[in-house]
Amino acid sequence: MSLFNDVASESASGLSGGAGLRHAALQAKLNQRLGPEYVSQRPGPGGGPKLTYAEGWKMINLANEVFGFNGWSSRVVSLTTDFMDYSEESRRYNIGVTAIVRVMLRDGTFHEDIGYGLLENTKSKGQGLDKCKKEAVTDGIKRALRNFGNLMGNCLYDKSYTHEIVKMKVPPVRCIHSLCAVPLDTQRSI
């Protein structure tokens, strides 16, 4: 679909002039794919093939760049502990948690998705639950964000794309923050 068609359809749906152009520009940006600096890999379960994914903090930073720090929000719709099994033999816990998370844009557009957190063989029930809940919420945020388009992670479900992107050399991280020029051991907490 062309930019002209997007703008025309937005005007017909109630967005006029500048709002339609901003919407079309945002849509064009969301149609882009993630660069290699956002893509990570880790071993698959049971030693299977590597899994390609985007780290949660990177996707949150990207959402802040794309939508603005105050242009989107997330909300936990539900958080459920699916199981918390304790083994008397090993004296350890296996825990699974499900989160349903909503990501909403300033204009009210939203997507919801499910996230999951799993921890096996942990000594501490409290720390295990804490880790699983955080993992489930972060996974839910990433999965909800991907519904907004390729740039927000949906492209990671395209196997031909992931096969090629992991071969690319990752460009160095550019830092626009003034503290980045200061050596790590002399940086102050903000």
Spatial CA neighbour of 66 closest among 143, 146, 151: 151
Q: Is the full-model pTM beyond 0.85?
A: no
Please, which pLDDT band fits residue 172 given cuts at 50, 70 and 90?
low
Least confident of 42-46, 117-121, 123-127: 42-46
Query: What residues does CATH 3.30.390.80 cover in the chain?
Result: 32-183
Q: Of 42, 38, 43, whose CA–CA distance to 55 is shortest?
A: 38
33 vs 14, residue with greater confidence: 33
For residues 150 and 103, what is the distance between their CA atoms, to the nearest angstrom?
A: 16
Whether residue 28 contacts residue 110, with contact meaning beta carbons closer than 8 Å, is answered with: no
Distance CA 98, CA 82 (A): 7
pLDDT confidence bin for 14, thresholds 50/70/90:
low
Is it the case that residue 84 has pLDDT exceeding 80?
Answer: yes
105-110 mean pLDDT: 96
Fold adopted by 32-183: Enolase-like; domain 1 (3.30.390)
> What string of DSSP letters covers 57-98?
HHHHHHHHHHH-TTSEEEEEEEEEEEEEEEETTTTEEEEEEE
